[in-house]
Amino acid sequence: MNKALLSLAIGGFGIGLTEFVIMGILPDVATAFNVSIPVAGHFISAYALGVVVGAPTLTGFGSKFPANKVLLGLMLWFTVFNTLSAFATDYNSFIILRFLSGLPHGAFFGIGAIVASKLSKPGKEAQGIAIMFSGLSFANLLGVPFGTYLGKNFNWNVSFLMVGAVGVIAVLSVKFWMPLLKNSSENSFISEFKIFKRLELWLIILLTTVGTGGFFAWYSYIAPLITDVAGHPSSMVTYAMTLAGLGMVIGNFIGAKLAQKFSPLYAVTIVLFVMSIFLIINTFLATNKILILVMTFIIGAASFSISTPIQLLIINSSKGSEALGSSLNQSAFNIGNASGAYFAGIPIAMGLGYTSADWVGAAMAGIGVFIAIIIILIRKSK
């Protein structure tokens, strides 16, 4: 069972690598395709759009097959299109490949979260899900900095060849370590979508979209924030990404503890409030070379503390269609990815500077707190 959870973590590592390494090499990709950094942000949005489209559709179709085979197929898809991304020759081909690479992301995490909870001991479901998401956080600690280093010192496409190599390892680990599993759902394809009638589900999706968008508003433009605002050389971006990744690893397990100590909903509310405050503080400290690195670690930890609580929150609100609900949360997370990068890019394009992205992020996280309070009040009124 430990190997099975490890295979999910390896898959999460690969997914985290492809999702976040683009942010570290965004200036290099922009230069390669002769576009501005805000326009290069479209590559982030294209991947996120793939997640949004793929999560409900692939989960819905895949729920009728054994979960271990579906996870294997998703990782095969992931490996093929991320490897092909390394050979993109222009803006259009790269943006299409980024979209295709994103399709299996949500379904893998959605089905994987259900599998992780079932493979865990009773009462330890949060820890099982946290182990899967640890791959995502370790990608930010180890994979993304190394991928950023390769992209900056050799060529941007070397970073995506690295993603393809991780994908091969993930495919093999799922193939040989994942036990035979039942279908992730016994419902018909149509009945799966009955959960869309639940108001709370929509509010959680909105909460995830807007709230986690605050993290992406900051993280999407972390490279120019470190170099242009703090005045560090471009080589420091790799180290900054490592600090952010270390914070994410620690935050991932803090989030699991919060979900066990409080309810997932209260844990999410606390995390979003803290994230909003830290993003505001960062706008005042970003010009300091030392403090910007300290805040990079702190914001990474605060932001990733939300992963497990928010996944448990939507699973608990999707009874009968847990896999679909779980994958929808990944769609919402990546709408937050796209919207955070997009909305933060607007004031940057207007010439307001890269710290303006943090103000956008703080506002989005703050709106997430407001939505969480609404859910709490609705629950109390029942």
Instruction: Show me where the domains of the chain are located.
Output: 2-381
Confidence (pLDDT) at 72: 94
Q: Is the torsion defined by CA of 97, 142, 252, 240 positive or negative?
A: negative
With a cut of 50, which residues of the chain have pLDDT below it?
none
> At 178, phi and psi to the nearest 5?
-80, 125
Return the pLDDT at 185. Answer: 59
Beta strands in 232-352 (DSSP E): none
Query: Which residue type is seen at 372?
Result: A
pTM: 0.79
Q: What is the pLDDT of residue 369?
A: 95
Pick the CATH number of 2-381 from 3.40.640.10, 3.90.700.10, 3.30.420.140, 1.20.1250.20: 1.20.1250.20
CB 345 within 8 A of CB 38: yes
pLDDT at 190: 63
Which pLDDT score is estimated for 24? 76
55's tokens: 């999560």
Rounded CA separation 125/127 (Å) = 5
